[in-house]
Amino acid sequence: MCFAFDGEGTLLHNLTYNENTPARFMDTFAFRMAITSLFFVPIFVMVVCYTHILFVVKKQQNRWNDISRMGSIRTKGRGSHKICREKKQLESNVRALYTTLLILGSCFIGWTPALLFYTLACSKGCYLQGEALVDLNCNHRTTVLILRLTDNMLVILKMLANPIIYSIRMREIKDGTHRMSMALLGVFCPSRRDDMISSGYYYRSRNQNSTGGTIQLRLTSFKSANRNGSHIALGKDCENAFL
For 173-187, the pLDDT digits (tens) are: 878 887 888 788 777
Where residue 201 falls among pLDDT bands split at 50, 70, 90?
A: low
Is the pLDDT assigned to residue 159 strictly greater than 70?
yes
Contacts 24+ apart (CB under 8 A), 143-149: 147/113, 147/117, 148/117
Q: What are phi and psi of 64, to 5 degrees?
A: -60, -40
User: Residue 191: is its pLDDT beyond 60?
Assistant: yes
Report whether pLDDT(219) > 60: no
Taking the C-alpha atoms of residue 43 and residue 173, their distance in angstroms, rounded to an integer, is 29
pLDDT score at 215: 40
CB count, 10 Å around CB of 114?
A: 19
Q: What are phi and psi of 240, to 5 degrees?
A: -65, -35
CA distance 68 to 87: 10
| Whole-number percent of the chain with pLDDT over 70 | 72
Q: Is the pTM of this model over 0.85?
A: no
pLDDT at residue 69, rounded to an integer:
65
Report pLDDT for 243.
Answer: 34
